Amino acid sequence: MATEIPEYPPVCQLKITLSGVRPLIWRRILVRGDANLYKLHKIIQIAMGWWDYHLHLFAVDDVIYAVPSPYEPWLMKTKNEKRVRLIQVAPYDKARFEYEYDL
């Protein structure tokens, strides 16, 4: 009798680097690939020691992901970050995207 091996989501290793800051500030974290970008935002906040007081967005190629808001017209053109998974925006090794905090 064969034992069925459960399938687990991939784990993504991310290197977070603050741009324009010297000395270099960075973190390396492991995140489940099936985490949505909103969850990733919360994880980054904890990893960086921030308090989630400001707006944020993810920029992947020419697509912006954020929490949609009817009060901010520029956010209306964004895609809902709660509906996209990390593995969708970073499907391969060394994939890059931007996380902007404190707009």
CATH code: domain of residue 56? 3.10.290.30
Provide the 3-class DSSP secondary structure of residue 3. coil
pLDDT (0 to 100) of residue 12: 96
Please name which of 15, 11, 7 lies closest in space to residue 86, comparing C-alpha atoms. 11
What is the predicted pLDDT for the residue at 59? 96
Strands 26-32 and 56-60: unpaired
Instruction: Give the residues of the chain that fall short of pLDDT 50.
Output: none
Q: What are phi and psi of 38, to 5 degrees?
A: -65, -45
The verdict on residue 45 lying in a domain is: yes
CB-based burial label for 49 (10 Å; 0-12, 13-18, 19+): exposed
Q: What is the pLDDT of residue 69?
A: 76
Residue 73: its pLDDT value, please? 65
Q: Is residue 60 included in any domain, yes or no?
A: yes
Domain annotation covers residue 6: no
Please give the residue range of the domain that contains residue 37. Answer: 11-101
**pLDDT (tens digit per residue) in 65-94:** 998 877 766 656 789 999 999 999 999 999
Which candidate, 10, 34, 89, 33, places its Cα nearest to that of 97? 89
CB 89 within 8 A of CB 59: no
Quick count: other Cβ atoms within 10 Å of Cβ 3?
5
Give domain status of residue 25, yes or no. yes
